[in-house]
A and B are shown apart, each in its own frame.
Chain A
């Protein structure tokens, strides 16, 4: 379909988008790299000096960094497990013949469309508040002590909030994949007398394996960058700071541009490492 004429015009048609995205990629990243080797603090402007990899050293040897790294991995891992397992179960359930399936779908998908700040605050206050929150009331009604989520287990709390938001995404993707399972395969398995569990592990799971890997990949990309929920509930703190929040805090709360930039680059490298391993590990399942 492409001829010389269309190709020349195609070139012009694509160029603006490419240029604009290229600048968006290169300029900030380049500047961040540049700042990361400077001693640059917004409270003391004009006194920048080149300090080589000192910022990186400080950032990486800061015990808060290790804590943030661990928190990041815990958060991502926790949400992934909840959403993938929960999503699969939900998808299996929704794939069954149900009355009013449309409404159930709407209910299940709603959390994804709620903005992160709203989710976080509603959960923190209306649900998880240790005195007047709904969970507290539920605990009391069965004779248990309510959990003070944000004091005792803040990272778990945030993990729950984020998982609640992403569960619909996983469920929807996996449901779509499930529904593409050939009806005839199901019938053939039935004629063969396959028990449900075997059916699930030998036929369903391989079929949705690709969708699962897509869900994991995409969620990870977004989960590495959880920010709003943390800012709005705990405002940081050792237990819930992840890498992005740590960088943010250094930049916009401590005004240490140099240090934060180093942190930013570390975050970028981390994201690339994770992406690399993820893609490699599950690469066979994805279409190139």
Chain B
């Protein structure tokens, strides 16, 4: 900014922005606070904001009674697993599209992205039946496969945009230096693309962690991740708000932290490059 903004204006906008930001964030804050209350206090009116009996009991109960860690473990396995498999397929593909483009590369990329536009219900029945017949229902492998296929287009797309930023001349230099294609990818491309690969990993782990269609419909107990676990609170018995809050806070906290670091990746990954 060339000139300083009037302090009055700055204060007004700051207050307005903080106020609105707080309101938007409030449900999450409220959820976190509720997780430290007893069930009675959680349900009581008028609601207590800060001055209540803080307790950690809910976190323990959630783990004891419903084995929270198992579901968390599943979330980790499913999101990490599907993203890693995705990277395995996507790195060579994105390399090919970024550095050896053909006439139809752009079309291919668009087609890949378009596969994400298919409504999941269009595939629900066959996938469900196939999984049923092959014993893949409620299996981690099955879910990893589905999540991998769901996110593959985005992983390829994001890697493609990151690879395109690497100067082609450096890869050419490695070719002149005698590197075969494989060595070019391993010794030169990958080390240079590490930040891009990390960003892609980050965003897609988040997307897979939050996926709530296939994870709800294809799992029951063994492979159910946190999305399904929380869903089980939709028809509970008795007082459950504090426990729900505790479980939710734990389910959401790691992703919130990761998400805060991946804002730019979000824009890059989900707008398909149309917005810079």
Contacts and interface: CB of A to CB of B under 8 A. Distances in A.
Nearest to A225: B119
Contacts of B47: 132, 134, 137
Contact of B252 (A114, A123, A168): A114
A98 B266 contact: no
Contacts of B255: 113-115
B190 to A, nearest CB: 14
A29 B46 CA distance: 52
B172 to A, nearest CB: 7
B219 interface: no
Contacts of B153: 21
Given A6-B100, A10-B102, A20-B89, A232 B231 contact: yes
Interface string A102-123: 0111111111111111110111
A48 to B, nearest CB: 12
A214 B271 contact: yes
A96 B101 CA distance: 41
Interface in A114-160: 114-119, 121-123, 125-127, 131-132, 134, 136-137
Interface string A88-108: 001001101111110111111
A275 B1 CA distance: 41
A251 interface: yes
Contacts of A16: 89, 92-93
B120 interface: yes
B123 interface: yes
B21 A126 contact: no
B183 interface: no
Contact of B212 (A112, A116, A125): A116
B34 A126 contact: yes
Interface stretch (A59-67, A74-82, A197-205, A261-269): A261-269
Interface string A150-189: 0000000000000010011100110011001001000100
A252 interface: yes
A265 to B, nearest CB: 7
A248 B92 contact: no
Interface string B15-29: 011101110110110
Contacts of B125: 31-32, 35, 251, 257, 260-261, 264
A65 B197 CA distance: 44
A221 B34 CA distance: 34
The residue among A2, A5, A28, A252 with the most chain B CB atoms within 10 A of its own CB is A28
B260 A106 contact: yes
Contacts of A99: 10, 14
Contacts, number: 306
A113 B97 contact: no
Contacts of B115: 21, 24-25
A268 B122 contact: yes
Contact of B263 (A90, A105, A107): A105
A154 B252 CA distance: 25
A280 interface: no
Contact of B99 (A1, A112, A257, A270): A1
A98 B230 contact: no
A263 B121 contact: yes
A31 B45 CA distance: 53
A5 B125 CA distance: 43
B38 interface: no
B2 interface: yes
Contacts of B89: 16-17, 20
B239 to A, nearest CB: 10
Interface stretch (B51-59, B62-70, B240-248): B240-248
B221 interface: no
Contact of A218 (B127, B210, B271): B271
Nearest to A180: B276
Nearest to A2: B100
A284 B24 CA distance: 33
B229 to A, nearest CB: 8
Contact of A2 (B99, B116, B181, B212): B99
9 contacts: A10-B102, A29-B122, A35-B125, A104-B21, A107-B21, A117-B216, A118-B31, A176-B267, A214-B272
Question: Which 10 pairs, one residue from A and one from B, show the smallest C-beta to C-beta distance?
Answer: A113-B259, A28-B123, A228-B212, A31-B126, A10-B96, A13-B92, A10-B100, A107-B25, A107-B21, A13-B96
Interface of A: 1-2, 5-7, 9-14, 16-18, 20-21, 24-25, 27-29, 31-32, 35, 90, 93-94, 96-101, 103-119, 121-123, 125-127, 131-132, 134, 136-137, 164, 167-169, 172-173, 176-177, 180, 183, 187, 210-211, 214-215, 218, 221, 224-225, 227-228, 231-233, 235, 243-244, 247-248, 251-252, 257, 260-261, 263-265, 267-268, 270-271, 275, 286-287
